Chains A and B, each alone.
Chain A
């Protein structure tokens, strides 16, 4: 029974993996904890379902859903950059706006897509086929993002998330870049929502509840898997998708064990909380281990101190990579 449910779990994992790529862009690249996604995934699903119910082609419907998601990101971006509202609150406000908007789009709490009457791109009735289609989608998305974040604009967005002060000094429009990043992220999330609605055959006002936690879980699991393999951007994104798949396989496993799935969101949240805490704990309680370094050459004590200063804020990101740098150590300028 577990094995027969596996294709379904994988295709769901792939759809949520796509959503998690959106979360990765805001959370990891932009350093912006964007809670808009809980609303925008439903917006994507709602727009797609309503359009398809009124006879619009499935592909056209997902394109409109993508645009709707981008607009949701734009709203959050405007709240944050033009109105100076903190990132998390901006996302929550948009999320609340979208609750009403999503209800208005659907006119009710849910909207069914009749897969017998209209062509759907992915469907749980054909999980195997859906896996193939989703892999195609993900290849295009990952390829596109890999290209984009290598362009001048994309590099500017990465710099914005990494060090806004430096970015401004290099003439980068930080506000614009945040808005672009949020729009891309929420466009992808809405695309995932649209595909999810087609896959399960309906959109529901609650389909996005807790999406940010699933997204973060996928990002964290993915990072744990691929960080040791490569820091390449495309590899990182692939890891995020794997994170989504693993999340849903675990979900399926919990069902198979006949455990109460109502606890699953709670467990996800606790697991995410613990993983988010690990870098903090490492720094606070295991600081000595994090900055183990070979003894400095004579007379460079002060230089060593400045080196530690440089390494400390990065400890969580780069601890494993510090060794090669230190191998060349002692030459702190």
Chain B
């Protein structure tokens, strides 16, 4: 059992149930993520990708079904108590860091993820050396600015820092929610390269939502396509490697889904 990092069992999630704005976000959704998997998730607008992330994180409760993380039933656990299993990077670079706190303080907060916060010092001297080494790997010169406020950093720098924070204490599952979407192409490529490097090095189990079909094909060992709250295509191994963007577009059309402009533009 323990090799199943994440198990979603028959998840149902409906927004605004019973109103004219009723929106079925996830419908009888099941997914099993094995240890070491790097899964990319694609799908049109409103396919339920972000809902999937939020259901795993516990941002809002599910209507039906069960969420298992590392063999534990976390369906009823609040977001902050699931955090010990999860490393997260958001789409919005502003969301993953505390802007008025120092770079090293942000790292210290992340280093204590899943730990009870006591009255011991919030950051210790010997940690700082470790943070400096880790920051140096980003190649952004942030190791020389450890006491600078994070609000001074650019979007790409903040996103790289968030990624480092998400993996500083090895998570059971790394969740990336379109984490390069808000960045310019050059920066996005760098952040993605660092993502792959850090995931490979730490053998992190990863779920990455992306709207970039080329990235979805190139990265990871398994690809999931979502449509109207369901998985419509699940491919891994050799078959995934030989995929082309045209194949994915064909799949979208075959399932009567709209191909969003954003996906085509990429």
The A/B interface has a contact count, at CB < 8 Å, of 162
Stretch from B86-94, B128-136, B201-209, B215-223 forming part of the interface with A: B86-94
- Kindly state the separation between the CA atoms of A257 and B145 in the bound complex, as whole angstroms: 51
Asked if residues B98 and A306 are in contact (CB atoms below 8 Å), the reply is no
In the assembled complex, B186 has its CB within 8 A of some CB on chain A = yes
In the assembled complex, A108 has its CB within 8 A of some CB on chain B = no
In the assembled complex, A136 has its CB within 8 A of some CB on chain B = no
Chain A contacts with B in 148-193, Cβ cutoff 8 A? 148, 150-156, 158-159, 162-163, 165-174
A332 and B156 in contact, given A171-B114, A172-B117, A303-B184 (Cβ under 8 angstroms) = yes
Stretch from B27-35, B157-165, B247-255 forming part of the interface with A: B157-165
In the assembled complex, B99 has its CB within 8 A of some CB on chain A = yes
A59 to chain B, nearest CB (A): 25
Q: Which chain A residues lie closer than 8 Å to B101 at the CB level?
A: 155, 158-159, 162
Taking a contact as CB atoms closer than 8 A, the residue among B93, B105, B140 that contacts A309 in the complex is B93
Interface string of B71-111 (1 = CB under 8 A from A): 00000000111011010101001111111110001001110
Q: Write the chain B residue with the least CB distance to A152.
A: B117
Q: Which chain A residues lie closer than 8 Å to B86 at the CB level?
A: 169
Stretch from B2-10, B17-25, B147-155, B235-243 forming part of the interface with A: B147-155
Asked if residues A155 and B187 are in contact (CB atoms below 8 Å), the reply is no
Q: Write the chain B residue with the least CB distance to A176.
A: B80
Q: How many residues of B contact A (CB 8 A)?
A: 57
Asked if residues B80 and A155 are in contact (CB atoms below 8 Å), the reply is no
In the assembled complex, A331 has its CB within 8 A of some CB on chain B = yes
Q: Which chain A residues lie closer than 8 Å to B117 at the CB level?
A: 151-153, 155-156, 172
Taking a contact as CB atoms closer than 8 A, the residue among A156, A303, A324, A328 that contacts B187 in the complex is A303
In the assembled complex, A277 has its CB within 8 A of some CB on chain B = no
A155 and B122 in contact, given A306-B155, A318-B152, A325-B153 (Cβ under 8 angstroms) = yes
- Kindly state the separation between the CA atoms of A50 and B93 in the bound complex, as whole angstroms: 53
Interface of chain A, helix or strand or loop or mixed? helix
- Kindly state the separation between the CA atoms of A166 and B98 in the bound complex, as whole angstroms: 7
Interface string of B172-196 (1 = CB under 8 A from A): 0000000000111111001100000
B145 to chain A, nearest CB (A): 8
Asked if residues B99 and A163 are in contact (CB atoms below 8 Å), the reply is yes
Asked if residues B84 and A165 are in contact (CB atoms below 8 Å), the reply is no
A155 and B152 in contact, given A163-B99, A306-B183 (Cβ under 8 angstroms) = no
A310 and B154 in contact, given A155-B109, A163-B98 (Cβ under 8 angstroms) = yes
Interface string of A210-253 (1 = CB under 8 A from B): 00000000000000000000000000000000000000000000
Q: Write the chain A residue with the least CB distance to B191.
A: A333
- Kindly state the separation between the CA atoms of A306 and B158 in the bound complex, as whole angstroms: 10
In the assembled complex, A317 has its CB within 8 A of some CB on chain B = yes
Taking a contact as CB atoms closer than 8 A, the residue among A148, A162, A172, A333 that contacts B160 in the complex is A333
Q: Write the chain A residue with the least CB distance to B158.
A: A310
Asked if residues B155 and A328 are in contact (CB atoms below 8 Å), the reply is no
Taking a contact as CB atoms closer than 8 A, the residue among B80, B118, B119, B153 that contacts A172 in the complex is B80
Asked if residues B95 and A163 are in contact (CB atoms below 8 Å), the reply is yes
Q: Which chain A residues lie closer than 8 Å to B122 at the CB level?
A: 150-152, 154-155
Q: Which chain B residues lie closer than 8 Å to A170 at the CB level?
A: 83, 109-110, 112-113, 165
Q: Which chain B residues lie closer than 8 Å to A324 at the CB level?
A: 148, 152
- Kindly state the separation between the CA atoms of A169 and B160 in the bound complex, as whole angstroms: 16
Taking a contact as CB atoms closer than 8 A, the residue among B81, B121, B158, B183 that contacts A152 in the complex is B121
Asked if residues A159 and B157 are in contact (CB atoms below 8 Å), the reply is no
Q: Write the chain A residue with the least CB distance to B139.
A: A333
Asked if residues B118 and A309 are in contact (CB atoms below 8 Å), the reply is no
**Interface core residue of A153, A162, A166 (most chain B CB under 10 Å):** A166
A-B pairs, top 3 by smallest CB distance, nearest first, are: A333-B156, A302-B184, A171-B83
Known: A172-B80, A331-B140. 5 other contacts (CB 8 A): A168-B80, A171-B114, A307-B155, A310-B158, A324-B148
Sampled A-B contacts (6; CB under 8 Å)? A152-B118, A155-B105, A155-B108, A325-B152, A331-B140, A332-B154
B contacts, CB < 8 Å to A? 57, 79-81, 83-84, 86, 88, 90, 93-101, 105, 108-110, 112-115, 117-123, 140-141, 145, 148-149, 151-160, 165, 182-187, 190-191
